[in-house]
Amino acid sequence: MAFPARQVFSTWPLLLGMGMLMLGAGLQGTLIGLRATIEGFPPFVTGVVMSCYYVGYIGGSAWTPLMMQRVGHIRVFAALTAVSSVAILLQAVFVTPVWWGFLRFASGVCFAGIYVVAESWLNGRATNQTRGTLFALYMLTLYGGLGGGQYLLMAADPRGPMLFVLISVLISLAVVPMSLSVQRAPEIEVPAKIRYRELYRLSPMGVVAVIVAGVVSSSLFSMGPVYARLIGLRASDIATFMGVSILAAVITQLPIGRWSDRTDRRTVLIAVCLIALVAAVAGGMIGTISKLTLFALAAAFGGIALSLYSLAASHINDHLTADQIVSASSSIVTLNGLGSIVGPLIVSWTMKQFGPPAYFFSLAVMLGSLVLYAVWRKIQRGAVPGPLKLPFINVQPQAVSGQMMAQVAHDAAVAEERADSV
């Protein structure tokens, strides 16, 4: 099939808007963690503040489809971007843990809702033939924006208000290309959920891995800047530390995905966890020897660990029927969100008790626990036969992008079922 140039070009307003939004999102997470440390917030208090974002994120993912059904995409999108712009500005004014916790919750609700609206538009433009390509471009935009946003930290002093203003500007500008798009907004459907008990029965390994992936990724995004500040890195070095952690994932996703398509995904998951575990232990032990060593270990850890969610979601899909895949996507996102809430709390508590190196060591313990569970599951259940496996699809835990990934997997499952019936 030829490259769908027309369909891809028609989505440029969405991709441009999301690119600017992710620049703001990438800068926001790092700035809040860094500024909290500068203001003297204890590590555990910072962890609680950062976790509030993920509490709001779960709520926003669930509430936004209902809001869109009532008042439409445009009004919901405009309202959420306005509130998120105000929320980040208020954090520059009211610098207290209580206010920041509340405003982080509001930001989580708004960002989740913005993703739902924007990605539903993108999904509405996709067909069975173009969904995979559009999804890959979207994920590239997401990772590029998140990683690039880290380097905006060097644009101003993090102790002042200018970076908060910059984030607000980026969020506001993201509205322009998407709101001026001539594309008709698609119908929104509230996704059905598969029971969590049933999902665990079908794929215990996948469910546990999805939760651990949330713990690890939220810890990286939320507590990584705190760790970097506590070991004495400057703002420019913190930007590099976080930037290489995220951008490395752009390079690793495809080879890891192809490897998992050719063998037992649990084997790949174990290998990925072990590599990330070694990088984390090394980071805790020798990461402070030099900046180059720290950045290399951060890239190794982030590039590998950020593939866990995609691996886990793909492993779950291997055990589902075509009819179950789409309904399971929202449940998978919620499970990951629950892990994301817990992650900063665990890491911040261990950092409070044992110092900054506990950032890496606590992540290593989480990954090691997942390795042990994965080995036990391999003993309990055989691998999914190659012909029954669905293709690996790189995905982030967001409501509609999860459904897009599920739809790609669903299409592949239906195609295989039709081929088997011929």
Q: Containing domain of residue 15, as a range?
A: 5-421
Q: What are the backbone dihedrals phi and psi of residue 164, each rounded to the nearest 5 degrees, phi first? A: -65, -40
Residues 15, 139, 122: CA angle, nearest 5 degrees: 45
Q: Is the pTM of this model over 0.85?
A: no
Tell the residue number behind the tokens 């990934």, with chain if given.
Answer: 405
Q: Please say whether the beta carbons of 298 and 364 come within 8 A.
A: no
Number of domains in the chain: 1
Cα 317 to its chain centre, rounded Å, is: 18
Q: What are the backbone dihedrals phi and psi of residue 319, each rounded to the nearest 5 degrees, phi first? A: -105, 5
Rounded to whole angstroms, the Cα distance separating 56 from 74 reads 21
Residues 300, 305, 307: CA angle, nearest 5 degrees: 115
Q: How many CA atoms, within 13 angstroms, populate the side-chain half-sphere of residue 383?
A: 15
* 378 CB burial (10 A radius; 0-12, 13-18, 19+): middle
In order along its 422 residues, the chain shows pLDDT tens digits of 444 566 666 677 778 888 898 999 999 999 999 999 999 999 999 999 999 999 999 888 888 878 877 887 778 888 898 999 999 999 999 999 999 999 999 999 998 888 877 777 776 666 655 665 666 677 778 888 889 999 999 989 999 999 999 999 999 998 888 777 655 555 655 556 678 888 888 888 889 999 999 999 999 999 999 999 999 999 999 999 999 999 998 888 778 877 877 787 888 899 999 999 999 999 999 888 889 999 999 999 999 998 888 888 877 877 777 666 666 777 787 888 899 999 999 999 999 999 999 999 999 999 999 999 988 877 776 555 544 444 545 555 554 444 555 455 445 444 454 445 44
What CATH number is given to the structural domain containing 110? 1.20.1250.20
